[in-house]
Structure formats: C-alpha cells, structure tokens
Amino acid sequence: MGMDDAVISRTPLDRGLAGYLNAVAVAVGVPAEATSFEISDTATAYLGLPHRSRERPERDLMLVWSERNGWAVAVETDPGERSAVLAHLGSEHVAPEPAVVARFVGEVVAGGAAGSAEPAFPTTTERDQLAGRLARYATD
C-alpha cells in the first residue's frame, strides 16, 4: 500500500501507520512516492533512501520497519537475494519518534557506528498497543 492509498485505510492501525510513515519520511527527507507499507501477518514499511552503501556502492539504501524488529537501514537487494542489513535502530519502542529515526539514518549514511547488528526489544508490542501509540499520527 502506498502513501497515496492511505486515505482508504479503515483500521486504527492502518491510519496510524500511514501517518507515522509519513512523519518519518518527512523527517528523513524522503518523498511519499518512495514509501509503502503493508499490514498482513506482520505490519511492515519501506522507505527508499537517496543514498548508496559504501560497502556496495552499486546499490541504493532503504529504511525498513516491522512491528517485530523496528527500523533498520539495509542495502537494496534483488528479489530472492538475502537482505543486507547495515544497522538496526535500538530504541525503547518499536516505533520511536520520527526525529530519532532521522538521526539514526543520518549516522548510518555518514558511516558512523549507529544502531546494532541485531534488533532487540524487551517485549513484543501487541497490535492494539501499537495502534494506540501511532494514533496521534493517524490520517483520515
């Protein structure tokens, strides 16, 4: 589902995630056309970044999110290729403030030692809790 499709969202989680993704995109400086999200067995989001990896300069970077693992900066891969995650954003919550995500992206892109190799969240966030946390970002 692209950001333009967010207006047809029906559930609180759909509306909240659409708004949250938009807020993160604005903070990171990514246009809405470079974003998407999906809610199925796992809620996920994608932002195409206008940066390349130093390790693999022929590949663009992407910012990906899941309700289980939070945010990560990864190298864009071809379908069927294994994902190449550069860093996971360590945070108190799976959906931190957009400014926190933007700082993380900036540090990773600059080559800093941002984030961690593995996602680490002390507890799993239930969908109703996630929807509640994202409610302030909700779009109509």
pTM: 0.85
pLDDT tens profile 61-118: 999 999 988 999 999 888 888 878 889 998 778 899 999 999 999 998 888 766 666 6
For CA atoms 134, 37, 23, 14, the dihedral sign is negative
Query: What is the per-residue pLDDT for 118?
Result: 67
Q: For the residues of 32-69, what is the DSSP string, one character each? A: GGGEEEEESSSEEEEEEEEEE-SSSTTSEEEEEEETTT
**Predicted pLDDT of residue 122:** 52
> Per-domain residue ranges for the chain?
3-116+131-137
For helices 12-28 and 127-134, what crossing angle results, to 10°? 50
pLDDT value at 123 more than 60: no
Tell me the pLDDT band of 7, cut-offs 50, 70 and 90.
very low
Question: Among the listed ranges 4-13, 53-62, 120-129, which one has the minimum average pLDDT value?
Answer: 4-13
pLDDT category at 9 given cuts 50, 70, 90 is: very low
Exposed e or buried b per residue across 44-82, where buried means at least 16 C-beta atoms within 10 angstroms of its C-beta: bbbbbbebebeeeeeeebbbbbebebbbbbbbbeeeeee
pLDDT tens, position by position, 16-56: 999 999 999 999 999 999 999 999 998 999 999 998 877 77
